[in-house]
Amino acid sequence: MINFRIEPDLQARLDWMAAFVRRECEPMDMLFPGHGAPYDVTDRKARAHLKPLQKEVKAQGLWACHLGAELGGPGYGQLTLALMNELLGRSYWAPTIFGTAAPDTGNSEILAMFGTDEQKARYLKPLIDGEIVSTFSMTEPQAGADPKEFTCHAWREGDEWVIEGEKWFSSNARFAAFLIVMVVTNPENPPHGRMSMLIVPADAPGLEFIRHSQTMGDRRGDDDGIHAYIRYNRVRVPLDAMLGNPGEGFKVAQARLGGGRVHHAMRTVGKCQRAIDMMLERAVSRHTQGKQLGEHQFVQGAIADSIIELEQFRLLVLKTAWIIDEVESGREPHGAARTHIAMCKVQMAKVCHDIVQRAIQMHGSLGMTLETPLADMWMGLPALALADGPTEVHKVQVAKAHLKNATRASGLFPSEHIPTRLAAIRERNTA
């Protein structure tokens, strides 16, 4: 039975979060702008504002909600997290304030699943406490996100792994205390069994930052980017720096990417809702052609399309979160949510694009300026379609999953061919 009721205790938490995000998190976006600002642990002024807010979140029992109770989190399921992340999606500082910022969320999860006790003490605890940030170093300049084309590799020398190669677009690496890097260690294996994951401290000898690339919306200073192009010049790490076993890098990556993708989708719901809120306010505040903006049918159509599209996407995200919870409980098999996660990833960029575009249009020239959040939302759209795998890859995954279960027509014509069906019906009725 489908039940959309939210329990009163959870609703009270959501109400507190909604008010807190508006009152405290959204102002942080304006006081400390910049895509890398939430990750810069050296910015003392920003951290002075941040720490009391994080303390307040912890007092509410809402810190690091993606983690289980054994790791200091409340252990909420994905369905509850979906409702919470909708609210956090309104502000790019909010995930840091609530201890749920990517890529630290995914990195903390794989450290919890695959890390040794020593690794958990050195890296996981300060990461969960919000004292440090981390990087997931996977994509490569010649290969993008396709692990079958990776060339950055590592080999064993004595009691160490030696890493050689380049990585591209390692987000926030300039601020990170450590990097989790995917490298080829078993080239003789099938494609998805060639790679391994290694923890690399940020101060490891041989770790070279070629440059920090800027993206849309960044400043154009010589070194203002936050996405690192890295060269690993025979970087040495101990054998126990590996997460999982040799050749299990793809398995480890999937353990973090699935949750990351659906959490991006959850937060995108909140971003889109904020854009719709701005559209509604604009529609009842502005007059043109002798009447209120919201009285024009074109405007009403844009508002209606946006509300309906977001509601459809939100229901997809909630269903996906529910399926993940069913998998975690053992009621659904492992991998049952994979196709729905891909569907969320595909729709996320499209829905956000359409809604933000309408919101900008409705705000006219003001929507093009940096004086509202809309410009930053717009410049972030390409990332939604590329991060954690390009949209096209996920479309292929969805199609293949359904084609695998499709049944071939038994005759010359399709099974829905009306003359053929009518003939069969008449034959059955005369029998």
pLDDT digits (tens, 9 = 90+) for 262-312: 899 999 999 999 999 999 999 999 999 999 999 999 999 999 999 999 999
Most confident of 72-76, 160-164, 379-383: 160-164
Q: What count of other Cβ atoms lies within 10 Å of the Cβ of residue 240?
A: 13
d(CA 385, CA 403): 24
Question: What is the SS3 assignment for 225?
Answer: coil
Residue 221: is its pLDDT beyond 70? no
d(CA 429, CA 431): 6
User: Which of 42-56, 65-79, 136-150, 188-202 comes out lowest in average pLDDT?
Assistant: 65-79
CA-based angle 34:35:40, to the nearest 5? 85
Residue 257: is its pLDDT beyond 70? no
Residue 315: is its pLDDT beyond 90? yes
Answer whether 310's CB lies under 8 Å from 355's CB: yes
Paired sense of beta strands 178-184 and 134-137, if any: parallel
Q: Rounded to the nearest 5°, which phi and psi values hold at 230?
A: -120, 140
Identify the pLDDT of residue 222: 61
User: Which comes out higher in pLDDT, residue 430 or 308?
Assistant: 308
Q: The pTM is what? A: 0.91
Question: What is the SS3 assignment for 411?
Answer: coil
Q: Which residues pair with 144 in a beta bridge?
A: 140
d(CA 7, CA 316): 21
- Indicate the pLDDT class of residue 225, thresholds 50, 70 and 90: confident
> What whole-number percentage of the chain has pLDDT above 90?
81
Domains with residue ranges and CATH for the chain: 8-102 (no CATH), 134-243 (2.40.110.10), 250-403 (1.20.140.10)
Q: How far is CA 176 from CA 36, 38, 107, 164, 223, in A?
A: 11, 12, 12, 20, 16
Tokens of 319: 């269903």
**For all residues of the chain together, what is the average pLDDT?**
93
User: Which of 120-124, 258-262, 372-376, 415-419 comes out lowest in average pLDDT?
Assistant: 258-262
Block residue for tokens 């269903």: 319
Answer whether 67's CB lies under 8 Å from 108's CB: yes
User: Which comes out higher in pLDDT, residue 335 or 22?
Assistant: 22
d(CA 344, CA 331): 22
Average the pLDDT over 104-126 and give the result.
91
Radius of gyration, alpha carbons of the chain = 24
d(CA 351, CA 334): 28
Residue 430 corresponds to which amino acid? Answer: T
Q: How far is CA 287 from CA 153, 223, 304, 305, 392, in A?
A: 62, 44, 19, 21, 41
- Indicate the pLDDT class of residue 173, thresholds 50, 70 and 90: very high
Most confident of 96-105, 207-216, 274-283: 274-283
